[in-house]
Chain A
Amino acid sequence: NAGVMQNPRHLVRRRGQEARLRCSPMKGHSHVYWYRQLPEEGLKFMVYLQKENIIDESGMPKERFSAEFPKEGPSILRIQQVVRGDSAAYFCASSPRDSQNGYTFGSGTRLTVV
Chain B
Amino acid sequence: QKEVEQDPGPLSVPEGAIVSLNCTYSNSAFQYFMWYRQYSRKGPELLMYTYSSGNKEDGRFTAQVDKSSKYISLFIRDSQPSDSATYLCAMSPGGNKLVFGAGTILRVKS
Partner of B96, one of A41, A55, A105, A106: A55
Contact B90 A102 (CB under 8 A): yes
Partner of B100, one of A33, A40, A43: A43
Partner of B99, one of A45, A95, A100, A101: A45
Contact A100 B103 (CB under 8 A): no
Interface residues on A, range: 20 to 34
Q: Tell me whether A69 is interfacial, beta carbon within 8 Å.
A: no
Contact B97 A48 (CB under 8 A): yes
Which among A42, A55, A107 has the highest number of chain B CB atoms within 10 Å? A42
Binds A, one of B13-21, B39-47, B64-72, B73-81: B39-47
Contact B102 A102 (CB under 8 A): no
Q: Tell me whether B59 is interfacial, beta carbon within 8 Å.
A: no
Q: Tell me whether B98 is interfacial, beta carbon within 8 Å.
A: yes
Q: How far is the CB of A77 from chain B (nearest CB, A)?
A: 15
Question: Chain A contacts of B62 at CB under 8 A?
Answer: none
Taking beta carbons and an 8 Å cutoff, which residues of B are in contact with A?
4, 6, 8, 31-32, 34, 36, 41-46, 49, 51, 88, 90, 92, 94-103
